[in-house]
Amino acid sequence: MSQSNESAVQINIQLEASQNSDSGSGGGQYLVTATTPEATSNTASDPSASQSGAPDGYVTIPFGASMATVPTLATELANEAAFGAMMSPAAILNQDKVTQAGDPMSRLTIPGTNMKWDELTQDQQLAYLQATNYGLPSGQTRQDYLTANLGPKEMWNAPYSNPTMFGNS
């Protein structure tokens, strides 16, 4: 089964054979892949990062005295969209409630911005983590970077402090 949504994410779901031989119920696992057109053209955060040897949707960046291969922000966002698209509104509300209750970043202002963590969309939170781990794109402030990565206006992407910001489904 494949499906697309407004954010141009291609979602492919395949039933895989169960790896648990004890499951007499014939249960299986699902392999979910998500791709976007941007996934092969964007870098993690630094457009000058080396891409040699990295598979599509990944970049190779300096890491200490060596190099590391990491997913691009577009790849991370596509995966988030794939999982979010499969969740029911009730599951999204429950996840937001649990996440907010145990999140150490809750109510904190993001350094270099006027934004609070709880008010960021799911895409903005991923963008913040990506920028924190790999750096901001050259010439961009954290405020501009997070504003540019608002993401789709769908319930799964809403800030967990306002989970129905983009609707209930």
What is the rounded CA–CA span in Å between residue 89 and residue 154? 11
- Phi, psi dihedrals of residue 131, rounded to the nearest 5°: -65, -35
Q: Please, which residues bridge with residue 109 across strands? A: 116
Show the 3-state SS of 29-47: EEEEEEECHHHHCCCCCCC
| pLDDT < 70 regions, the chain | 1-52, 169
> For residue 61, what pLDDT is reported?
86
- Read off the pLDDT of residues 86-131 as tens digits, 9 standing for 90 and up: 999 999 998 888 888 888 998 899 999 999 999 999 999 999 999 9
> For residue 95, what pLDDT is reported?
86
Q: Would you list the domain boundaries of the chain?
A: 44-157
> For residue 48, what pLDDT is reported?
43
Asked if 48 and 34 count as a contact pair (C-beta separation under 8 A), the reply is: no
> For residue 3, what pLDDT is reported?
47
Q: Which helix (H) or strand (E) holds 95?
A: helix 89-102
